[in-house]
């Protein structure tokens, strides 16, 4: 394949890495479940282990249904099957004897910006939203009424009161990573201290994840008080439909997009037009498996199935990899990303979606396709400006950074903006920068292809380059000649199963 199309912000970049380049594309989607609601009902009646929902639900009691904002996978789709799964779960609670008015929908968003009314309405199907008469609560990591349930290490485990003032807890999530879904949804309804400490070397392996261990310990602490059951969906890789049907798994669709005669015209359109076109591209997101049981058990099984079905096998590690970074944030509501979020999408998310081994050799090169412009929309992304300023001089880990985080965690104005839903939590930028460190610790250089703000790139310790060809030449030079280049067809980002013993 001569040229590969990748998103670079809201533009389409054609990457020609040579005939020997390794094009990484996900497998075709698995046959989806025709009726997600019926699959959820069956899963709750026949869990992987433990009692079914009906045996756990006290008639006339209270139930808390814990969900996460559907920010992952990226990009999302209006056809998100989690909407039907949430409605089906709450209908099953009614059938088990817990009326709808005694059900609480708890939206656990962690440190991300708290959802507003518009986003909350999109969590369930419109018909169900109209007849829902229970409570909807959006978690607040700084709520003084959070209930302490112990600690993991020296970090206190505090949770939303709705997780202790109830008779039953049901999590309804999709298995995306070890830090998203399952018991992590309970952690996302906790305090900022535990959320900041929740890290993972790989987003698909539990062994080196403090976040997974903390989430499991929290689940166990809650389960000693209150029955807990989880529903975990295994999602297919999001796929485009319509004229672009088949991208990114179909090589012919990739070639068709690369040969599209108006691709150059698209890049010259105003940015607002390009973004609107990209947002309105028809897409499909489906589920192919549903599991139930203790949240950690159901989530682990669903995640294993997701990796098996969605991962691309990489034989041997790469010297360099191209990663397209879209013009969107990894959180809801979607916005234009600032440079810190561009780094997080590529290094903290895409390059942590691996199993069995890191996909690049030690000292390898990551090439990020993005203009990397210095924009911090007010007030929603103001906490990221604090991180940006603390990185003066390109220091990736410094006393100044630690001090800036300490000051941010006690910034009354920033915390008030978070609690009002106007911005993310002031600790989130520091948590996301920490999420980039596993990749940065293995890489020798991060190149920003097509960079328009060289000072911003250098502030992060990255190398700005004029375009794809310049970045490619630099990657070959760093490898001492012709290097093994990978091109990650993204977004959407997908798992990499790395067989590193063939390097």
Residue 277's pLDDT is what?
Answer: 75
Mean pLDDT per 10-residue interval, the chain, length 503 residues: 79 82 92 97 97 96 97 86 98 97 98 95 94 96 96 93 98 97 98 96 94 97 97 92 78 79 67 76 89 98 97 95 94 93 97 96 96 92 94 67 92 97 97 96 96 94 93 91 88 89 49
Return the pLDDT at 251.
Answer: 83
pLDDT at 27: 92
Q: How far apart are CA 378 and CA 226, in angstroms?
A: 41
CB 140 within 8 A of CB 419: yes
pLDDT at residue number 222:
97
Euclidean distance between CA atoms 339 and 212, whole angstroms: 28
For the domain made up of 4-26+311-502, give the CATH fold: 2-enoyl-CoA Hydratase; Chain A, domain 1 (3.90.226)
Whole-number Å distance between alpha carbons of 74 and 331: 9
* The CATH number of the domain covering residues in 36-235: 3.40.50.11440
Residue 483's nearest CA partner among 450, 447, 439 is 447
Q: Which two tokens stand for residue 33?
A: 């479940």
Q: Are 178 and 188 a contacting pair, CB within 8 Å?
A: no
β-partners of residue 5 are 14
Backbone angles phi, psi at 26, to 5 degrees: -70, 160
Is the entire prediction scored with pTM above 0.85? yes
| pLDDT score, position 17 | 77
- Nearest-CA neighbor of 307 among 355, 345, 346? 355
Residue 12 is predicted with a pLDDT of 81
The whole-number pLDDT of residue 18 equals 80
Tokens, residue 335 = 């916005």
Q: List the domain boundaries for the chain.
A: 4-26+311-502, 36-235
pLDDT at 264: 64
First to last CA, the chain: 23
According to the model, what pLDDT value does residue 198 have?
A: 95
User: Pairing state of beta strands 228-235 and 4-8?
Assistant: unpaired
Q: Is 471 left (phi over 0), alpha (psi -120 to 50) or beta?
A: alpha
Q: Which of 361, 387, 404 is CA-nearest to residue 456?
A: 387
């Amino acid at each position: 394949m001569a040229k590969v199309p990748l998103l670079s912000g809201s533009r389409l970049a054609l990457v020609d890495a040579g005939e020997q380049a390794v094009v990484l594309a996900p497998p075709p989607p698995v046959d989806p479940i025709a009726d997600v609601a019926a699959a959820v009902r069956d899963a709750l009646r026949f869990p992987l282990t433990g009692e079914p929902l009906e045996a756990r639900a006290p008639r006339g009691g209270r139930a808390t249904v814990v969900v996460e904002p559907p920010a992952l996978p990226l990009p999302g789709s209006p056809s998100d099957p989690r909407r039907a799964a949430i409605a089906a779960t709450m209908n099953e609670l009614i059938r088990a004897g817990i009326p709808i008015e005694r059900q609480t929908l708890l939206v656990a968003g962690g440190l991300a910006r708290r959802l507003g009314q518009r986003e909350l309405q999109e969590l369930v199907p419109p018909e169900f939203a109209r007849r829902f008469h229970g409570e909807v609560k959006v978690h607040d990591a700084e709520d003084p009424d959070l209930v302490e349930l112990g600690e993991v290490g020296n970090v206190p485990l505090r949770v939303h009161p709705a997780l202790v003032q109830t008779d039953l807890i049901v999590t309804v999530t999709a298995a995306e990573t070890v830090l998203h879904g399952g018991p992590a949804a309970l952690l996302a309804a906790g305090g900022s201290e535990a959320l900041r400490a929740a890290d993972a070397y790989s987003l698909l392996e539990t062994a080196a994840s403090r976040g997974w261990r903390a989430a499991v310990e929290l689940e166990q602490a809650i389960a000693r008080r209150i029955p807990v059951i989880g529903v975990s969906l295994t999602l297919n890789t999001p796929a485009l439909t319509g004229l672009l049907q088949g991208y990114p798994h179909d090589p012919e669709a990739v070639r068709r997009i690369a040969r599209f005669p108006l691709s150059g015209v698209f890049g010259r359109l105003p940015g607002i037009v390009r973004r609107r076109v990209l947002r309105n591209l028809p897409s499909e997101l489906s589920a192919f498996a549903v599991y139930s049981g203790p949240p950690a058990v159901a989530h682990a099984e669903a995640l294993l199935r997701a990796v098996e079905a969605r991962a691309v096998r990489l034989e041997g590690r790469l010297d360099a990899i191209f990663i397209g970074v879209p013009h969107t944030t990894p959180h809801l509501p979607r916005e234009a990303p600032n440079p810190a979020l561009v780094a997080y999408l590529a290094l903290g998310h895409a390059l942590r979606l691996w199993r069995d081994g890191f996909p690049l050799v030690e000292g390898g090169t990551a090439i990020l396709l993005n203009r990397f412009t210095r924009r911090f929309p007010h007030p929603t992304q103001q906490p990221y400006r604090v991180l940006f300023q603390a990185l003066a001089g390109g220091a990736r880990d410094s006393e100044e950074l630690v001090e800036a985080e300490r000051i941010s965690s006690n910034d009354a104005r920033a915390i008030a903006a978070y609690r009002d839903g106007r911005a993310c939590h002031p600790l989130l930028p520091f948590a996301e920068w920490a999420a980039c460190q596993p990749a940065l610790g293995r890489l020798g250089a991060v190149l920003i292809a097509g960079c328009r703000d060289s000072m911003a790139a250098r502030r992060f310790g990255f190398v700005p380059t004029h375009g794809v060809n310049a970045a490619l030449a630099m990657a070959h030079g760093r490898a001492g000649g012709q290097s093994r280049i990978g091109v990650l067809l993204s977004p959407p980002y997908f798992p990499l199963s790395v067989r590193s013993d063939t390097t």
